[in-house]
Structure 1
Amino acid sequence: MQNVVNTLRILEEVAVRQPVGVGELSRVLDLPKSTVQRALRTLATAGWIRPAGGEVTRWVLTAKALHVGRHATGELSLRDAAVPVMEDLRRTTEETIHLAVPEGDSAVLIERLETPKVLRIILPLGKTLPVHASANGKAILAHSPPEVIERHLTGGLVRHTATTITDPGRLRAELALIRERGYSTNGGEWRDDIAAVAAPVLGRDGRPVAAISVSVPSMRMTADLYPEYGRLVIEAAATLAERLSTR
């Protein structure tokens, strides 16, 4: 049983740190390199991971992991409906577009379309986003039930950068502003190098089923781009919500 648990822990760490090698996995998981190596071979044989760029010393997830994950969270049809909308948004902005969904008390990235520009921010699919410090997370949290919002406000707001909102009163006001204008922003609140604008995709009951965002390296985001991208993500989120309502 412990071997199975270790293998699953290693798979999770590959998802977070990819591309990653045996040494780093051994260090962060406090496991012998021989144990990590055996687990990686098992995962590769089963089709869950593959060598990064043909380099057998570093590993990344395969599409199998993503496919199973989508089925597990019921997001396959959401992704299918979202990709054309995301493509339009990427074509207009020429920036990276992210799609995240609520999962428990977090937001999880399930799809990404990358910018054609050389300078970019790449987040791995399956990445958990802090709901109080990321644009996608705040868009989802702002439209969550009151009890969910209060649980986050009273549960302790982790500081990720110097600009993270950690005061419950400030975050409550921020969430009210998001509901009023229709979009959220992140100006380096989670990572100093990321700025983003997001809008919630609301279901028939008014609750968020996802959030769609434009993600930009902080040095490329100017003050005038926030409202411009805000308008675009609101339109994209509304289009996606309409498509989902007909399915």
Structure 2
Amino acid sequence: MQNVVNALRALEAVAARQPIGVGELSRALGLPKSTVQRSLRTLHDAGWIRRAGGEVTRWQVTSKVLQIARTTELGLRDAAMPVMEELRQRTGETIHLMVPEGDAVVLIERLETDKPLRIVLPLGIRLPLHASANGKAVLAHLDRPLGELPGYTATTITDPAALRAELEQVRARGYADNRGEWRSDIAAVAAAVLGPAGPVASLSISTPASRMPDDLRAEYGELVTRAAAALSEHSARR
């Protein structure tokens, strides 16, 4: 069983840091090189990873991983769309669906507001875990070191102790918020979609900063928390 766990951890690390060599992977996982090499051979033989180009052997994931990720993503999108549409109808604002990927969350679907003043984020954009509502919603349910916390605006939380305190609040109330921490003109509230092994996605209501006063922020937070809980129940049944 431990060999399987090591191989899965290695696959996750390769996907997050690719292309990556054995030494770097060993340090990232805290495992001996010999153990990492066995895991890489297993993953390579099964077709999950391949050697990247170059003189030094480095590894990257194959299309097999991407195909499975795409299938899972499409299933999540299908389940999320009616929930997202209900949120948009109730708030009149832009609704985002994001998935965790390494040290970021990635936008995979959005339903835009009809209001003329809007902020459009492109599909595929990556947002930092510590400086976005979607990211903090996910990060609150992950057991991992915080790492580096770069600043993006004057309100970005860059102090680990302050961020840990905020993540405790996220877990207590069910949703995270963003007060211009990634871009000063964006406000958002988000809640994690939880699967059996942890967060699989996050839902958010995103607005220009001027359109989310504190009373509306709390109301939207409750709405997005209920919506994410409904999607979590669907995920648990799959």
Compute the TM-score of the two structures, normalised by the length of structure 2: 0.70
Stretches of structure 1 lacking an aligned partner (at least 5 in a row): 1-67
Deviation string, structure 1 residues 16-43 (Cα, Å, up to 9, x no partner): xxxxxxxxxxxxxxxxxxxxxxxxxxxx
Work out the CA distance in 1 between the residues paired with 2:173 and 2:235.
23
Matching residue of 1:212: 203
Matching residue of 2:191: 199
Work out the CA distance in 2 between the residues paired with 1:244 and 1:234.
15
SS class of match (1:74):
helix
The CA deviation at 1:244 is 2.0
Matching residue of 2:233: 242
Relative to structure 1, the CA distance from residue 107 to residue 198 in structure 2 (aligned partners, 3 Å threshold; closer, same or farther) is same
Work out the CA distance in 2 between the residues paired with 1:116 and 1:101.
24
Amino acid at match of 2:91: T
Matching residue of 1:233: 224
Work out the CA distance in 2 between the residues paired with 1:87 and 1:199.
16
Amino acid at match of 1:220: R
CA contact (8 A) 1:129 1:137 kept: yes
CA contact (8 A) 1:106 1:137 kept: yes
Give the RMSD, CA atoms, in angstroms.
1.5
Matching residue of 1:128: 126
Work out the CA distance in 1 between the residues paired with 2:127 and 2:230.
24
Work out the CA distance in 1 between the residues paired with 2:67 and 2:90.
29
Deviation string, structure 1 residues 84-137 (Cα, Å, up to 9, x no partner): 100000000000000001111211111100001110110001000110000000
Work out the CA distance in 1 between the residues paired with 2:69 and 2:103.
20
Matching residue of 1:144: 142
Compute the TM-score of the two structures, normalised by the length of structure 1: 0.67
Stretches of structure 2 lacking an aligned partner (at least 5 in a row): 1-65
Work out the CA distance in 1 between the residues paired with 2:227 and 2:101.
21
Amino acid at match of 1:161: T
Work out the CA distance in 1 between the residues paired with 2:167 and 2:69.
31
Relative to structure 1, the CA distance from residue 81 to residue 190 in structure 2 (aligned partners, 3 Å threshold; closer, same or farther) is same
Work out the CA distance in 2 between the residues paired with 1:245 and 1:138.
22
Percent identity over the alignment is 63
Work out the CA distance in 2 between the residues paired with 1:127 and 1:69.
20
CA contact (8 A) 1:70 1:76 kept: no
Matching residue of 1:188: 180
Amino acid at match of 2:117: L
Work out the CA distance in 2 between the residues paired with 1:175 and 1:164.
14
Residue 116 of structure 2 is aligned with which of 98, 118, 122? 118
The CA deviation at 1:183 is 0.4
Please tell me whether residue 83 in structure 1 is matched to residue 92 in structure 2. no
